Structure formats: structure tokens, C-alpha cells
């Protein structure tokens, strides 16, 4: 049976532990922030200024965007508007692998490396699968660095063809981070 003393000790103890818990949670837990970004990558896939280039593929097959096994290396400027001469926000640097045997899917693994004032030096890590010929694909944001530590989210990528060698991808990024 609880005596009056042990009851008050128990009460004090639990009051104390609640107090400690609420102090420590205030000190360490911050709600995640949500950031939404719209930016554009300038994808140039042929000519002297190509920035999205097949670097390896299955011997004897064409190294193309619809051939299984083709790997592209990409380093594309990311701009504020679709206009290639608009302000540079960063670069999309990484690779694409045609990942379906029938050529219908692409696996993307790349970083958005920011160089604008707001996020200079921070990165977002993008990964996922998309249909090679789809106008819109969605990739996961699987991590980040700098201002985007602990990032998780998603990015839609809509391809807007400009001409035979140049396409603009509109990236809509929604990301939760610390």
C-alpha cells in the first residue's frame, strides 16, 4: 500500500521526470522545415557544349536513351527561369542509367549542387526511377547537406523540349529538412 510519504515521493519523482523530459525536448527537437523550390536544368545532349553524354553502354549496341545499360554523365546548369541566360542557382551533377531491359525506364542518381546566395555549398541528393519517354517523372529526394541536412522529399521533373539538342527540365522540389 502507498503511504502518504511514498505517494508524495512518487508524485515528486514523476513530476521531476516530466519536467526533465519537457526541458530536454525543448532543447533538442526542432520541427522540420518544408522548402519548395522551382528551378530549371539546361540539358544539352549533343554538340560541342554537350553536358549530358553517354559514357558507357553494352558493346555492340547503340549507347542511347532507350537502350538498356547505357550510362550518361551529366553536369547541367540549373537556372532561375527556363531561359538559359537567367541566373544560375546551381548544377545538377550525376548520372542516368537506362535500367529497364526494354529501355523504358531510367535510374537517376545525382546531386543538386547549389551556388546561389541562399543555399551556396548545400546539396540535395536525388534518386529514383522514371519512364524514359515520359514528359513528367518524379524522383525521391533522399538526403542533403548544409542547409538541407536530413532532407527528405520529392522532385517532379517536366521536360520541355527546346530544339533537337537542347531541353529544359522544370524541377519542382518539395523537401523537409532541419
133 binds ligand NAG (CB under 6 A): no
Q: How far is the CB of 108 from ligand NAG (least distance, A)?
A: 16
Residue 77-116 contact track with ligand NAG, rule CB under 6 A, x = bound: -------x------------------------------xx
Q: Is 145 in the site for ligand NAG (CB under 6 A)?
A: no
CB of 116 to ligand NAG, least distance (A): 6
Q: Tell me, what DSSP letter sits at residue 31?
A: P
What is the chain's percent helix, strand, coil content, to nearest 5? Answer: 15, 50, 35
> 104 or 156, CB closer to ligand NAG?
156
Which residues in 8-67 contact ligand NAG (CB under 6 A)?
A: 38
Shortest Å distance, C-beta 51 to ligand NAG: 12
Cα distances (Å, whole numbers) of residue 81 to 42, 75, 85, 86, 170: 10, 18, 9, 6, 9
Residue 5: burial class (beta carbons within 10 Å; 0-12, 13-18, 19+): exposed
User: Angle at the Cα of 41 (from 38 to 47), degrees rounded to 5?
Assistant: 165
Among 66, 158, 167, 176, binds ligand NAG (CB under 6 A): 158
How far apart CA 113 and CA 87 sit, in angstroms, is 15
Which residues lie near ligand NAG (CB under 6 A)? 38, 84, 115-117, 120-121, 136, 156, 158, 162-166, 170, 172
Amino acid at each position: 500500500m502507498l503511504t502518504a510519504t511514498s505517494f508524495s515521493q512518487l508524485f515528486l519523482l514523476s513530476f521531476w521526470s516530466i519536467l526533465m523530459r519537457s526541458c530536454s525536448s525543448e532543447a533538442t527537437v526542432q520541427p522540420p522545415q518544408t522548402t519548395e523550390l522551382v528551378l530549371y536544368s539546361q540539358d544539352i545532349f549533343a554538340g560541342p557544349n554537350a553536358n549530358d553524354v553517354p559514357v558507357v553502354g553494352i558493346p555492340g549496341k547503340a549507347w542511347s536513351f532507350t537502350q538498356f545499360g547505357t550510362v550518361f554523365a551529366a553536369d547541367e546548369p540549373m537556372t532561375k527561369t527556363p531561359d538559359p541566360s537567367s541566373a544560375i542557382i546551381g548544377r545538377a551533377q550525376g548520372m542516368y542509367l537506362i535500367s529497364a531491359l526494354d529501355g523504358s525506364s531510367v535510374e537517376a542518381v545525382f546531386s543538386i549542387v547549389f551556388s546561389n546566395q541562399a543555399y551556396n555549398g548545400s546539396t540535395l541528393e536525388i534518386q529514383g526511377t522514371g519512364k524514359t519517354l515520359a514528359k513528367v517523372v518524379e524522383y525521391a529526394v533522399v538526403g542533403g547537406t548544409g542547409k538541407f541536412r536530413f532532407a527528405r522529399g520529392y522532385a517532379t521533373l517536366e521536360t520541355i523540349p527546346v530544339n533537337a539538342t537542347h531541353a529544359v527540365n522544370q524541377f519542382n522540389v518539395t523537401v523537409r529538412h532541419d
